[in-house]
Amino acid sequence: MVATQPDPEDLTARARIRDAALQHFGEHGFERATIRGIADTAGVSPGLVRHHFGSKQGLREACDDYLVKMVRRFNDQVRTDTQYSDLTYVAASRAALKPYQRYLARALVEGAAASLFDEMVKMSEEWLTDIDAKRSEPPFVSRKVRATLGTAMALGVPLLYQHVSRGMGVDIFSPEGDRLLSRAMLDIYSHPLISPEEAAMLIDALDKAPDRATPAEREATPGRPEEHHDD
């Protein structure tokens, strides 16, 4: 009961523009989305967009800020509610973020929304703390590394939701899809792909032979492999 949004009904024009931008950016991407289209969806003139947000980039930043605030609030809320396990958190955040999912996906892949990702990692770390307490062997790597990887992997599902839905034969955002997804996640998270012994063995091999070039590594080398500067 954190009474957040005053009323979805009489939203101010500024908020309507922001929501329309979230939608358009998510559906068409930042470049392809047009101020005119966003203004049209929001029911205002294109000029008003500029009046409120200064520029297209400003509008984007406002969208990012809004989402970060929303995720942060969601996390705080869940954090105080101890009934959630890691699994149900994943499911809950999947549901909560659903409307913004496409926007989120694009932003994250483009390297933006960093604080949002980090927020999720911190969340994962907290749960890992509990899980690690019940664990016998010491982990191979630090908790933060595992939390980071776990977060990225969990995000892979909504990020690729079109492909996942196609592969599962059901829209993962529909009730049935969500149910199937939850079952599958429970199965995956409760059944290791390899045994700890095998893993330890492979780690040993890894430490002894750090130079493990695959046959493909030699073959797949195109024009400019080493350049990735950010936008």
Partner DNA sequence: CAATTGACTATACGCGCGTATAGTTTCATA
Partner DNA sequence: TATGAAACTATACGCGCGTATAGTCAATTG
Expressed in percent and rounded to 5, the helix, strand and coil fractions of the chain are 70, 0, 30
47 scored as a contact of DNA (CB under 7 A): yes
Q: CB under 8 A: which stretch of 44-52, 53-61, 131-139 binds a second copy?
A: 131-139
User: Of DNA, a second copy, none, which one sits near residue 47, judging by CB under 5 to 8 A according to partner kind?
Assistant: DNA
Nearer residue to DNA within complex by CB, 47 or 139: 47
Cβ-Cβ contacts under 8 Å for 111 (sequence gap 6 or more): 230, 231
Instruction: Scan residues 57-86 and list those touching DNA (CB under 7 A).
Output: 57
Shortest spacing between CB 54 and a second copy, in angstroms:
20
Does residue 203 sit in helix, strand or coil? Answer: helix
Q: CB under 7 A: which stretch of 47-55, 85-93, 137-145, 213-221 binds DNA?
A: 47-55
Please check whether residue 19 is in contact with residue 11, taking contact to mean a CB–CB distance below 8 angstroms. Answer: yes
131 scored as a contact of a second copy (CB under 8 A): yes
Residues 89 and 187: their CA atoms lie apart, in Å, by: 16
CA-nearest of 115, 21, 97 to 62 is 21
* Exposure string over 213-225, b if 16+ CB within 10 A, otherwise e: eeeeeeeeeeeee
167 scored as a contact of a second copy (CB under 8 A): yes
Please check whether residue 147 is in contact with residue 125, taking contact to mean a CB–CB distance below 8 angstroms. Answer: yes
Total chain residues near a second copy (CB under 8 A): 116
Query: 79 is written with which tokens?
Result: 């954090």
Output the CA–CA distances (angstroms, integers) from residue 94 to 99, 102, 144, in the order listed.
Answer: 10, 12, 22
- Residue from 34, 57, 85, 129 touching a second copy (CB under 8 A): that is 85
CA-nearest of 133, 153, 129, 130 to 143 is 129
- Residue from 41, 50, 70, 99 touching DNA (CB under 7 A): that is 50
Q: CB under 7 A: which stretch of 52-60, 141-149, 159-167, 221-229 binds DNA?
A: 52-60
- Residue from 13, 48, 68, 157 touching a second copy (CB under 8 A): that is 157
Query: 153 is written with which tokens?
Result: 């992997």
User: Of a second copy, DNA, none, which one sits near residue 40, judging by CB under 5 to 8 A according to partner kind?
Assistant: none
- Residue from 40, 46, 101, 122 touching DNA (CB under 7 A): that is 46
Shortest spacing between CB 118 and DNA, in angstroms:
28
Shortest spacing between CB 46 and a second copy, in angstroms:
18
Phi, psi of 7 (to 5 degrees): -165, 125
98 scored as a contact of DNA (CB under 7 A): no
Please give the residue ranges that form the binding site for DNA (CB under 7 A): 4, 12-14, 33-37, 39, 44-48, 50-52, 55-57
